[in-house]
């Protein structure tokens, strides 16, 4: 399920800044005067190719909306947005290799076009570029904590990815627990969804709200992953891979019928989304506004699934 930006007054301003984010990301991997398709530097060409596919840029939008709401300069908001989006795209390049997905955003995946070795290097380049981009934030007092937090969130995302790929492989029933499912979702997706808001909070000298932001994004990530699983349940359950094993419906299906498992999954997602919305709304200065708006959208989808199950 795709996420979309909700157009409010600060969000519409952030829409205008997205083009500058795109420019900054590209410049971070392809310096001025260098051809983005120069085959002598395939890793840069591969990274540029991946970015050219676009995408929702949800993490960039979260950073821009939060940054403007917190009173950061446009330049600082753009730098934070570019950094988190570069991180996310690095993870996608590597995910596609590990999942052997041949397409990403309507075009062939980087590894499928350039080969696995070049794709690994391209992902590494995007990851490194994120740190360089964040260093453009003009907040000397906050930059050290921001860089440290970025590492901590990357480490959690790595934990989540590893857990997603290996969960259940060492257990006799080959099945995830609900608790393990939520931990994986929080780490794999929540880490890079919370980071744009957390970096803004550090830059705005509001570190006391970091825990709220992390919990809001983590709960949102669980709800989002459940919605995604519900959309993909048929294909995942036929896949016979970690995607089948880790789908939330499969997790509940061990003790329930498929129909009941679907409703139980939606109820769990709804519980997390309600928590996410409440926590996001509690963030100061409207910093969590866009995250809450995205939560409303997922709440509608999950409520429909629960209500449909109740009528059967």
pLDDT confidence of residue 295 = 97
Q: How many domains does the chain have?
A: 2
Residues 131 and 204 in one domain: no
Residues 250 and 284 in one domain: yes
Distance CA(150)–CA(90), nearest Å, equals 14
Residues 115 and 55 in one domain: yes
pLDDT in tens, 116-159: 999 999 999 999 999 999 999 999 999 999 999 999 999 999 99
Distance CA(77)–CA(82), nearest Å, equals 9
Structural domain of residue 183, as residue ranges?
140-312
pTM of the model: 0.90
Residues 83 and 154 in one domain: no
For residue 54, give the CATH number of its domain.
Answer: 1.10.600.10
Residues 106 and 180 in one domain: no
Residues 222 and 273 in one domain: yes
Predicted confidence band at 8 (pLDDT cuts at 50, 70, 90)?
Answer: very low
Contacts of 260 (CB under 8 A, 6+ apart): 252, 309
Contacts of 200 (CB under 8 A, 6+ apart): 63, 66, 67, 70, 72, 77, 80, 287
Burial class (CB in 10 A: 0-12, 13-18, 19+), 74: middle
**Phi-psi region at 286: left, alpha or beta (left = phi > 0; alpha = psi -120 to 50):** left
pLDDT in tens, 17-52: 999 999 999 999 987 777 665 555 699 999 999 999
Residues 226 and 209 in one domain: yes
Domain end call among 138, 171, 198: 138
Residues 227 and 92 in one domain: no
Residues 98 and 172 in one domain: no
Q: What angle do CA 114, 117, 118 make, to 5 degrees?
A: 45
Residues 166 and 285 in one domain: yes
Residues 14 and 119 in one domain: yes
Q: What is the mean pLDDT of the chain?
A: 90
**What are phi and psi for residue 234, nearest 5 degrees?**
-65, -50
Reported as type and span, the H/E element at residue 103 is strand 103-104
């Amino acid at each position: 399920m795709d996420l979309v930006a909700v157009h409010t007054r600060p969000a519409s301003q952030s829409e205008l800044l997205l083009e500058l984010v795109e420019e900054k990301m590209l410049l971070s991997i392809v310096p001025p005067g260098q051809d983005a398709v120069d085959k002598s530097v395939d890793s840069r060409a591969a990274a540029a190719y991946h970015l050219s596919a676009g995408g929702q840029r949800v993490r960039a939008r979260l950073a821009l909306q939060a940054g403007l709401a917190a009173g950061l300069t446009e330049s600082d908001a753009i730098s934070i947005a570019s950094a988190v989006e570069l991180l996310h795209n690095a993870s996608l390049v590597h995910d596609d290799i590990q999942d052997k997905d041949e397409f990403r955003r309507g075009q062939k995946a980087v590894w499928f076009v350039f080969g696995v070795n070049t794709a690994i290097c391209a992902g590494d380049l995007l990851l490194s570029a994120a740190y360089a981009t964040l260093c453009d934030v003009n907040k000397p007092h906050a930059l050290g904590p921001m860089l440290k937090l970025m590492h901590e969130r990357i480490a959690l995302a790595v934990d989540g990815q590893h857990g997603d790929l290996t969960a259940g492989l060492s257990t006799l029933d080959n099945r995830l627990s609900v608790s393990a499912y939520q931990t994986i979702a929080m780490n794999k997706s929540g880490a890079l969804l919370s980071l744009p808001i957390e970096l803004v909070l550090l830059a705005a000298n509001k570190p006391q709200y970091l825990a709220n932001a992390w919990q809001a994004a983590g709960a949102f990530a669980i709800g989002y992953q459940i919605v995604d699983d519900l959309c993909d349940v048929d294909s995942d359950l036929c896949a016979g891979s970690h995607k089948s094993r880790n789908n939330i419906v499969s997790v509940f299906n061990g003790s329930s019928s498929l129909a009941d498992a679907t409703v139980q999954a939606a109820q769990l997602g709804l519980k997390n989304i309600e928590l996410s919305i409440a926590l996001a709304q509690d963030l100061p200065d409207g910093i969590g506004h866009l995250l809450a708006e995205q939560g409303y959208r997922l709440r509608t989808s999950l409520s429909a699934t629960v209500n449909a199950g109740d009528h059967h």
